[in-house]
Amino acid sequence: MTGTEGNVRVLLLGGAGQVGLAFQRVAPADWLVTAPGRDALDIADDGAVQAAVSAADLVVNCAAYTAVDKAETEVDAAYAANRDGPAALARACATGGTPLLHLSTDYVFDGSKIGAYVETDPVAPVSVYGASKEAGEQAVRAALPAHVILRTAWVYGPDRANFLKTMLRLGAEREELRVVADQHGCPTAAADIADALVAVGAQVLGGRRDSFGTYHLCGTGATTWHGFAAEIFAQAQARGARVPRLVAIDTADYPTPARRPANSVLDCSLLERVFDWRAPAWQDSLARSLDGLLPA
């Protein structure tokens, strides 16, 4: 079902975030995207969510409490956005049979697996953020069969605060940077997530109803934070930027309030098999992101 004149009415939550902004840049012209800010629509507000969802053909949830360390002390705020918000959205979507695309995280896993995580691996979050996101996944599954949950990881891009922008800023200021080399994961460009949301959304809107469920969606390939930083600085230097000396350190040398999984590499082959979508190599997506931040 679509709205007036064949246009698709898309309700986007979190439109001012990294992925939400990227999504609005690539949404097809015939998708009428409404993106109320948090002030206009708190996703944990059941009544407001119900009204907004009733006017949509597709709901895309990019809203979340993403401050991983602050979540350890702001537990209620994390659960409001990451569990209660998705729960309210899923209930509202169920009322009218509206499909929901919802983003989740690699931090639902504890990182103890040897090898890449698949969707059916047991979850065991080790942080409040991870636990709140896992609770959000459960709430979506319980309320709404017509969902696609996309777990992503290590998101970066031109908007908001993220690892890429932090490295470029600190790299310009400091002689030496110490970066953790014993956490493994998959850097993922916000633009690639946006592209996948459009691809999956288009198939769901096109009538595909056999593929609802949970998928992994990351940049292709894996590295460590140190490896990610090394590639950022190699590419930045090739574009004429001043770069620092990079020192590999262990997680134990860089204590943070929230624990991070040592391994959060996600196997994304199910998404490719079912929706025929695969992310570019993470180094190539990094280069595209740098085009906007450090033109060659």
Ligand X SMILES: NC(=O)c1ccc[n+]([C@@H]2O[C@H](COP(=O)([O-])OP(=O)(O)OC[C@H]3O[C@@H](n4cnc5c(N)ncnc54)[C@H](OP(=O)(O)O)[C@@H]3O)[C@@H](O)[C@H]2O)c1
Active-site residues, by number, are 129
Tokens 């493994």 belong to residue: 184
Measured CA to CA, the distance from residue 36 to residue 89 in angstroms comes to 14
Measured CA to CA, the distance from residue 131 to residue 107 in angstroms comes to 8
Measured CA to CA, the distance from residue 103 to residue 60 in angstroms comes to 8
Buried b (16+ CB within 10 A) or exposed e, 209-239: eeebebbbbbbbbbbbbbbbbbbbbebbeee
Minimum CB separation from ligand X for residue 292, in Å? 16
Minimum CB separation from ligand X for residue 193, in Å? 7
Measured CA to CA, the distance from residue 225 to residue 232 in angstroms comes to 10
150 class by beta-carbon count within 10 Å (0-12 exposed, 13-18 middle, 19+ buried): buried
**Contact string 85-124 vs ligand X (x = CB under 6 A):** x-----------------x-xx------------------
Contact status: 187 vs ligand X (CB under 6 A):
no
Contact status: 81 vs ligand X (CB under 6 A):
yes
Return the residue of 3, 34, 38, 72 that touches ligand X, per CB under 6 A. 38
Tokens coding 132: 């709140």
Minimum CB separation from ligand X for residue 39, in Å? 7
Contact status: 18 vs ligand X (CB under 6 A):
yes
User: In the range 240-279, which residues lie near ligand X by CB under 6 A?
Assistant: none
Minimum CB separation from ligand X for residue 24, in Å? 12
Contact status: 63 vs ligand X (CB under 6 A):
yes
Contact status: 165 vs ligand X (CB under 6 A):
no
Of 7 and 121, the one with the shorter C-beta distance to ligand X is 121
* Residue 220, SS3 per DSSP: strand
Answer for the pair 12, 33: CB distance below 8 angstroms, yes or no.
Answer: yes
Of 152 and 223, the one with the shorter C-beta distance to ligand X is 152
Return the residue of 8, 17, 98, 110 that touches ligand X, per CB under 6 A. 17
Chain residues binding ligand X by CB under 6 A are 13-14, 16-20, 38, 42-44, 62-66, 80-81, 85, 103, 105-106, 133, 152-155, 160
